[in-house]
A = this chain, B = another copy of it.
Amino acid sequence: MSWTVYLSGEIHTDWRERIERGCADAGLELTFYGPVTDHAASDDCGVAILGPEGKPFWKDHLGAGVNAIRTRSLLEASDVVVVRFGEQYRQWNAAFDAGYAAALGKPLITLHPEEHDHALKEVDRAALVVAREPEQVVDVLRYVLDGTLPARPQA
């Protein structure tokens, strides 16, 4: 099985790179999917392609439609979905993806600091793993693919 992993959520830190690099270092053969992480492109894609729109609501609506073609298709094509909640912003989009993945029966990994535990309790309950660090996600994927556990001491 050629595993595919969707990385949803926060776009302002390097968590995606840390997971991708860690998996590459571990020699894991998997493919990562995710949303467009260029914030400006993601916001502007609707009007940049389809033409200007006066109201911000419709500008967002156009862009969200274009983004949804990518995100829903890739999420549905993934074997595992990782959803990252960072320390800032409302990140409703991440929670929406988690709910979407849960309803599709996708194995779900959440990744967030302890401070969000209570607010995320329903989301975490739908997950098979709640991780704190990207490196733990790497370890989970290595175990899932290869059955090997980390030698390094856990944080």
Interface residues of A (CB under 8 A from B): 1, 3-4, 31, 33, 36-38, 41, 44-45, 48-52, 54, 56-58, 60-74, 77, 79-80, 85, 89-105, 107, 109, 114, 116-132, 136, 139-140, 143-145, 147-150, 154-155
Closest-by-CB residue of B relative to A131 is B50
Q: List 6 A-B contacts (CB under 8 A).
A: A49-B140, A51-B132, A51-B155, A57-B130, A69-B109, A92-B123
- State the oligomeric state as a number of copies: 8
Closest-by-CB residue of B relative to A67 is B122
The reply to whether B51 and A154 contact each other, CB–CB distance below 8 Å, is yes
Q: Given that A36-B147, A68-B128, A122-B93 are contacting pairs, would A117 and B73 also be in contact in the complex, using a CB cutoff of 8 Å?
A: no
For A68, A122, A144, the residue with the greatest tally of chain B CB atoms inside 10 Å of its CB is: A122
Nearest CB on B from A36, distance (A): 4
The reply to whether B68 and A149 contact each other, CB–CB distance below 8 Å, is no
State the CA gap A101–B102 with chains docked (Å). Answer: 10
Q: Given that A79-B73, A102-B100, A136-B50 are contacting pairs, would A64 and B154 also be in contact in the complex, using a CB cutoff of 8 Å?
A: no
The reply to whether A96 and B93 contact each other, CB–CB distance below 8 Å, is no
The reply to whether B144 and A89 contact each other, CB–CB distance below 8 Å, is no
